[in-house]
Amino acid sequence: MEPPIWLKAVTDMPRLDRAQWDRLGLLPRWLIGARAATLILTVIPCLIVGLLALRARRFDLTLWLLVTVGLVLAHATNNFLNDLVDHRMGVDRDNYFRTRYGVQPVESGLLSQRHSLLYATATALVALACGLWLVHARGGPTLWLMLVGAGFVLAYTWPLKYVGLGEIAVLAVWGPLMIGGGYFVVTGLWDGRVALASLPYGLGAASVIFGKHIDKLQEDKARRIATLPVLLGPSLSRYLAMAMMAGQYVAVVWLVVTGYFSVALLVVAFALTALAPALRVFSRPRPAAPPPDYPASTWPLWFVAFAFVHNRAFGLWFLAGLAGDVLLGRLGR
């Protein structure tokens, strides 16, 4: 039995035609336009924030929910704006990479520019409402965190992605800003060690965007979009992505050895089963066509698909280890 479109939108990047789109309700259309399958990248660091706050015995459910909803919707807003801006700038024309791995609602004509902007605006307003509530609850520093985050949402598609700063922005946002800043908002404490503890997941998020930009390096180069892989070249970019993925485990070991986390965090070693195939794929140039056993629905995603699977596995095992760390802390007191 074919799963409903909304479920496919949460777990994958569905392809659909006008007739299928016209049968969809508001929520499935929002999920597709927001690229809901990618939002797990933001849900995981929000859960990390919650567990770190529990560990510090300063967890506030209301503040954590507001942080989570605000950050997830900010990510969704960025996805809407990315598709809209790329369409207006002509980036997605002529069977561009983005239109081949999943429907681009604006470029395909399923969603008008006006309606896309309405979706983005409504999503952003809810995220903004969460942010303003948090500013009221926590005060001035939260306002600056919100403004910096909003700046990245608005500036990622242009100009950051065009000048080799998009990947650095992802590392900063999904690491210290999202986890360190989220921890401050929930607990009221800024802790530099939390910012350092955010790096394992931040490196993973950066490896995902690196994989995506390596996959479409030639298309971006032709359109004068100077992502870091375009500037560095495919070989160096592949090895840098591999270093980031391996660096996630080095960072975890360092955090355990220095005593910030207990040995419970070492369960991330189970994610090595996803790291091995990712490193094997990144160690070789991108194939011209998918291997016979590769899912046709996933192509032309290649490097990014393996990086995404690895980062998701790492993030989930990191959460499991952090939950164990919290439990050990409670039992030891």
- What's the rounded mean pLDDT across residues 139-162? 86
**Percentage of the chain with pLDDT > 90?**
65
Statement: residue 332 has pLDDT above 80: no
Q: Measure the CA–CA gap between 49 and 55, rounded to whole angstroms.
A: 10
The two three-digit tokens of residue 56, written as one number: 């510090």
The SS3 call for residue 193 is helix
Cα Rg for the chain, rounded, in angstroms?
Answer: 20
Residue 288 DSSP code: S
Q: What is the pLDDT of residue 198?
A: 95
Counting Cβ atoms within 10 Å, is residue 329 exposed (0-12), middle (13-18) or buried (19+)?
middle
Question: Cβ(101)–Cβ(215) under 8 Å?
Answer: no
The SS3 call for residue 220 is helix
In this structure, CATH architecture of domain 5-331: Orthogonal Bundle (1.10)
The two three-digit tokens of residue 261, written as one number: 């986390």
The least confident of 74-78, 155-159, 212-216 is 155-159
Question: Cβ(315)–Cβ(274) under 8 Å?
Answer: no
**pLDDT range class, residue 100, cuts 50, 70, 90:** low
Q: Measure the CA–CA gap between 51 and 59, rounded to whole angstroms.
A: 8
Question: Cβ(185)–Cβ(133) under 8 Å?
Answer: no
- What's the rounded mean pLDDT across residues 94-106? 71
Q: Measure the CA–CA gap between 29 and 25, rounded to whole angstroms.
A: 6
- List phi, psi (to 5°) of 226: -90, 70
Q: What is the pLDDT of residue 330?
A: 62
The two three-digit tokens of residue 209, written as one number: 């965007």
Question: Cβ(17)–Cβ(99) under 8 Å?
Answer: no
**pLDDT range class, residue 118, cuts 50, 70, 90:** very high
Q: What is the pLDDT of residue 149?
A: 87
- What's the rounded mean pLDDT across residues 223-234? 94
Q: Measure the CA–CA gap between 329 and 53, rounded to whole angstroms.
A: 13
- List phi, psi (to 5°) of 3: -65, 155
The least confident of 65-74, 103-112, 183-192, 233-242 is 103-112
Which of 302, 170, 281 lies closest to 228, judged by CA?
170
Q: What is the pLDDT of residue 223?
A: 87
Residue type, 209: I
Q: Measure the CA–CA gap between 7 and 43, rounded to whole angstroms.
A: 17
Condensed to tens digits (0 to 9), the pLDDT of residues 44-97 reads 999 999 999 999 999 999 999 999 999 999 999 999 998 888 888 877 676 566
Question: Cβ(37)–Cβ(8) under 8 Å?
Answer: no
Counting Cβ atoms within 10 Å, is residue 316 exposed (0-12), middle (13-18) or buried (19+)?
middle
Spell out the residues 6+ positions from residue 80 whose beta carbon is closer than 8 angstroms to its own: 33, 34, 116, 119, 120, 123
**pLDDT range class, residue 1, cuts 50, 70, 90:** low
Angle at 103 between CA 99 and CA 106, to 5 degrees: 85
Which of 240, 248, 243, 255 lies closest to 317, judged by CA?
248
Statement: residue 333 has pLDDT above 60: no
- What's the rounded mean pLDDT across residues 292-318? 92
Q: What is the pLDDT of residue 269?
A: 97
Comparing 314 with 329, which gets the higher pLDDT? Answer: 314
Question: Cβ(229)–Cβ(217) under 8 Å?
Answer: yes
Comparing 65 with 14, which gets the higher pLDDT? Answer: 65
Spell out the residues 6+ positions from residue 281 whose beta carbon is closer than 8 angstroms to its own: 302, 303, 306
The SS3 call for residue 182 is helix
Q: How many Cα neighbours within 13 Å face the side chain of 157?
A: 19
